[in-house]
Every structure is written in C-alpha cells, then in structure tokens.
Structure 1
C-alpha cells in the first residue's frame, strides 16, 4: 500500500507559554487509511485537553458570539433597542497558527465528510438565534403579509377564522332562503298550473256541452226540416185569432179547445199529413167537420167548414184539399177551428203539435 504525502509542517511552533501552559505535542507523519477515515457511528467524543489552551479560547469565542446574538434578539423583543456589540481581543499567535493550517476540505478523505449543508445549517441556527423573541409563532404567510408580532398574528388568524365562520353562516342563511323561495315559487307555479288545468277543463266541458247542444239542435232542425216536408199547415191567407186554453163564455167548456185560423169563406183546407178520413159531416156546434186520423192514431179535426171534399174511409196524403173555410155551427165569422187529439182522445195544443212537426204557423 502506497504511503500518502505527509502533512505539511507548521512554519511556527508556539511554546507552552504562548498557549497558557498547553503541553506541546510532537508533530508526526499522518498516513490516513480507509479504516482511519471511516465516520464514527453514534456520538463523537471530544478529547479534552488539560489547561486553558486553544480549545478553551474557541469555546469562549463561541459563547461570546451566541451571547451577543441573543442579547441583540432580547433587546429587539424588549423595546426595539439596537443590539450590543461585543468585541473580543485578539489572542497572540492564534491568527498565525490558523493561517498556517491547511483547509480541512483539502485533507485526503476529510473533504468528503464535510458538506455545504453543515455550513448552511450553522448559518440557519445563527439566524434563528438572532431572530426576535416576538416572532415566535409567526408563519411564513404572516411574514409575507407584513405581520411580525406573534400576538398580532394570532389575533389576525382568529379574526380570519371568525370571518370565515360568519361567511359560512351567511352563506347557509342565503342558501336556505333561496331554497325556501324556490320551494314557494314551485308551489305557487304548481297551484297556478292546477288552476289553469281546472279552468281549461271547465272551458273544455262548457265547449263540449255547447257543441253537443249545437249538434242536437242541428240534428233536431234537420229532423224537423225533413219532417216538415211530410206535414203541411192546414190553410193559407189566415190570421190566428184564438189559441188553445183561452178562457171565455163563448165556449161551453169555459175555455177554447183548439186553434182558430180566420180566413175568407171558401179558402181551401189541406190535409196536414197522410192519413184516413174517419168522419166527414155535420157535427152540431162544430158545423161541418172532417176528422182525419193519422198513421200513429192522432186525430185532426177541421170544423165550421162551408163544404166537404172527402168522405169517411177515404185515404189522403199531405196537402190534399179536404174542404173549405166556412162559418157553420157556433161561430162569429168564417174561420177554421182546428183541434188535435192524441190516440187516447186527449186534446192538446194544436200550435205546439204543428211546431213539433217543423211547422211554424
């Protein structure tokens, strides 16, 4: 194994008196090996030299630096007073010894054991020790906002948290109000929709009813129009003078039992519908009378005629002339007294019956 280059000799060897009684040791050649430069695991033991010497001076220097930095921080925390400067006297011979020593990183195998991290860590420790005591608890965000006081930072965070909680509460109230308003609007819209549907249904029902009534009226009109073609008004050039049910002493029953068509004597009388002549002749107070029986059993009486054109048992059709207007019997002037009797013999209003057949005298 090749030997390494020997460590350079110090140009000056101080005596015991220069270091306050520190025992001088003999300088020997140092040949580091892989085993000798292996890092020691666990705690490092520091060899303490007897007496004051260089080690004691270094310790005093470090304590002085820390005390100075701490004093500056305390002064800043207590009232913003400037830090106190502490100057250390130069020890004779120390500077020359330090300048003559090689850099630790240049020693074989030693430079790898040291890194810039250790220096950065030392600088960080020094800056931390020099920081004011009132900066304790101040976060990076607080520092960026310009807050350097711990109490102010705590108060700011509490106020921010309170504002956030108030904002959340306001947001919850607003959301609840919006939900309530939306629910109310939806209910009102549903009610309006229901009312509109109900109204639409009512209108549709009324329209349907109206349309149904119109349809029935139209059907009835068509039926009457068709029916009217098979029925006829019994005479022409007439005036209605007395109606069914009129009261008066002129009539033996106390009221009028038919419908009077006043017309000149000799005006033709027509069959109102197809039927068979049941009677034709004199009938006392009715004068000359013709009774026409229709197919459904209804009887039509033609009274006060001046002459008869048909005889009993004769079949006639709608519009055939069966006699002429006269003033025979119990009358005050020429007219046709017309009566309508149902199959059971009950007398009914001739005007309503004619209208039911589509005729409007």
Structure 2
C-alpha cells in the first residue's frame, strides 16, 4: 500500500523514467540521493527505519503525483495470485492475468504498471518458485524411480538366483539319477556276466566229468604210488581182530595222494573206529573199495573217475605207521585185493 506521508526534509525525489525507457527499477539509496549544496539531509525522526523511507519514496516515484489522483477516482483492479499447487506445477495462469491487468492499467497511468509488468518482477519471482518446485518434484521423481529400479533389480537378481539354484538342483538330481541308473545297469550286467560264467563253469565241469567217466570206463589204476607192500591179504597175527589180515597195506609217507581205482561214487566217508578215517567207493558192478587210515579226505560224496584223488595216506585208527589199508568187498565178503587188481590188468 502506498504511503501519503511527505518525504523527509532534505530528500530529493527523482521522477520515474518514461514508459518507453522503463527497465527494472528498484528504489535504493542510489536512487534517493541527498541534495548537494546548501541543502542537507535531515536526520530521521519518529523511529522510522531507513527501509520504510526508501519503500515509501519508491512507491511515490513509481506511481507519480498525477497518477495518484487519477487512481483514486478509478475502480480497483482485481489481482489474482497463483496458489501453492500452481507454483509447484508451474501453472501461472492467475499470475499472467494479474500481469495483463497491470499492463492495461499501466497504459492508462502513463505506462507505469505496464513497465512494471514488462520488468518481470512478478513473473521472475513466480518462475523462481516454479523452478524450485519443479526441481524438488524432479528430485522426488528421480529418487522414486531410482528406488523402483533398485527394487526391480533386486527382484530380478532374486529371480535369477532362484532360477540358477533350481537349475543346479535339477541338474544334480538328473546327474544322481543317471549315476544310480548307470550303477544299476552295471550291477545287472555284472550279475548277468557272473551268472553266465557260473553256468559255463558248471557246464565245463559236467563235460569234464563226462569225459573222465568216458575215458575211465573200463580203466583201472593203482590206489597210490611210491609205496611199499607191508602186509598182504590173509596174513595171520594178533594185530587183527579176526586173526587174519583182510586187506592189502601200501606203506607210504603221510600225505601221499590216494586215488580212485575205477569210476564210481562215494557212498561213505568219515571216522570208522579201528579203520580211522575211511572212504567207501562203490564201482558200477557193485564192488566196494575201502580206503582206510587216511589223514584227510578230499572227496566225501558224489561221482569220481578213475585216477581222481579222493584222500591222502595217514596213520589214523589202529596202526603202527602211516599206510593205506585197501580192502575189496563184494556182496559183503572180502577178497584178495592183489588178485582183484591183477584181474584188472594192474601189476602190484
């Protein structure tokens, strides 16, 4: 609001520039210069501040003496100021309307108001506020966008990590399944190979047994080798319970192999009192061959061929030294082993 108080004494009031030469003008101490010469600047009284005086002088100078009287006779012009949201959004429609009104009044009042509008005082302040609001809004949007990008990047990273872990787990499971499948296949193949090998072995053994049986059919061999005959069949003496010897003794070192004299099957094997360890071999014609006083038994059952090792010479039972006691029995009665062997083409 303009002041009607007179200017302090000693103050020279400068006329405002014309509308055509108007620039941005602000009353300052330079525009209010003291009168040189005989006039002096009067000391301010009444407690008025220097800024109030300068402002009053500026208003008077801007309006003009003739303009004051004319302005009092004219109706007031409504001036609309932009609201805070308009300042934040940069909408200065209200301010531009006020500036247009000021320009129209300035044309009527000697160009003062128009010059003030052209000076850009109000638009400059509004522009600065709008620029500050726009900067703040831009910073907020940039910060929000940066936070959103960081959140999106984190979500992508978590998704990628989860996908990598899932892929690794799936690959591990597939690898484990493949390993187990390979192990199962290898075990199955090994079992099949082992089964085939066992079947082949059994077949080979059976074939070998048939070949031996075929080769030994009608073939006879001596029951042991590197021996010495010590007692013959029918010899008398107190050493035998029956009073006479019922077999043929082949003296040989302990462990000497004892062989089947012909093809047949083992019908008995084990401890037999005075005979010690004994094996009974039954031939195809029913003849029984007893092997007595053995130190060990290699075959205790099943079929054997002529010449197969079935035990070893020993000194078990009622003996005076290691030897093989051989008996030949048929129909439950004993016969001379030497005569029987000779009948088979063997020379004892």
Does TM-score exceed 0.5, indicating one fold?
A: no
TM-score, with structure 2 as normaliser: 0.38
The alignment's TM-score, normalised by the length of structure 1, stands at 0.36
